[in-house]
Amino acid sequence: MRRLEGRVVLISGTARGQGRAAALRFAAEGALVVGGDLLHEEAMETQRLIAREGGTALTPGPLDVTDEDSVRTWVGEAADAFGGIDIVYADVGAVRFGGIDRQPYEDFAFTMRAGLDSVRLTAHLAWPHLVSSRGCVLTVGSTAGLTGSLTNRRSAHSASEGAVIALTRQLAAEGAPHGIRANCISPGVIDTNGSRDNLLAEEHPMPGIAEHIPLGRVGTPDDVVDAALFLASDEASYITGTNLVVDGGWSTVLPGAIADKEFRT
């Protein structure tokens, strides 16, 4: 028996990166995937990839997770097509970097809208369906929400991701009486289109970033989706309000090198 047989899952950001990987893997576990993305053609390609493997997916139309009408339509079409919603996977985030001394408020607000407001909006509009299904919410935070960074000027990103982690705990609190679970996944450095534009870009001031990650490699979208599948499945039926960090130890182990001999501190 597949882990998500017949469950209806809404996944945002299915055109690329972690969202596409999530759509493919959730469908392979038997879920009925309702995807959406600003990049509608690429999201449709994800739908075709799922269909080719014998899975079920629907991509109702272009989705803008920062726009209330767009999200309302998306949620409504999912519920109409499949009779309800069991899982909401709010994957989309978009970032504008900039130091606190120079970032225009517009860029800060853009990052908060895409990274935080979008999660609230999706959860808010899907909530009645989750109450009916005793469903679950997966949000995507980041290690940026847990640590500061000397390398990236990312006050907006850190603020939005930290707030996603906090919002998820509150969703867990308000969801518990309805049997709704809410959990956050916080990736570290994951190889996607998004990160190739910044952390993994050739000109980035921290080349060879993998050397600084305790497990010695950058993560893949499937590393993140493995955690998401677990949290969405019945195997995690007693887990809510958690923030599962998927970062190869990046945020919890101090940088350094193993010494050849013991030093007294």
Ligand X SMILES: NC(=O)c1ccc[n+]([C@@H]2O[C@H](COP(=O)([O-])OP(=O)(O)OC[C@H]3O[C@@H](n4cnc5c(N)ncnc54)[C@H](O)[C@@H]3O)[C@@H](O)[C@H]2O)c1
Footprint of ligand X (CB under 6 A):
12-13, 15-19, 37-39, 63-66, 91-94, 114, 140, 142, 187, 189-190, 192-195
CB 165, min distance to ligand X, A: 11
Q: What is the DSSP letter of 240?
A: -
CB 91, min distance to ligand X, A: 5
CB 62, min distance to ligand X, A: 8
**Between vectors from CA 218 to CA 261 and to CA 146, what angle results, nearest 5°?**
85
CB 243, min distance to ligand X, A: 12
Which tokens go with 186?
């916080």
CB 245, min distance to ligand X, A: 10
* Smaller CB separation from ligand X, 115 or 133: 115
Which tokens go with 258?
């193993």
What is the residue type of 135?
G
φ, ψ of residue 198 in degrees (nearest 5): -135, -85
CB 265, min distance to ligand X, A: 33
User: Which candidate, 36, 33, 30, 31, places its Cα nearest to that of 16?
Assistant: 36
Neighbours of 222 (CB within 10 A): 15
CA distance 203 to 140: 27
Q: In the chain, how many H helices and how many E strands?
A: 8, 7
* Smaller CB separation from ligand X, 62 or 84: 62
Contacts of 11 (CB under 8 A, 6+ apart): 19, 22, 23, 26, 33, 34, 35, 36, 89, 91
Contacts of 148 (CB under 8 A, 6+ apart): 158
* Smaller CB separation from ligand X, 17 or 133: 17
Which tokens go with 14?
């299915």
* Smaller CB separation from ligand X, 133 or 138: 138
* Smaller CB separation from ligand X, 40 or 178: 40
CA distance 1 to 156: 43
CA distance 178 to 191: 36
* Smaller CB separation from ligand X, 60 or 187: 187
CB 263, min distance to ligand X, A: 34
* Smaller CB separation from ligand X, 89 or 127: 89
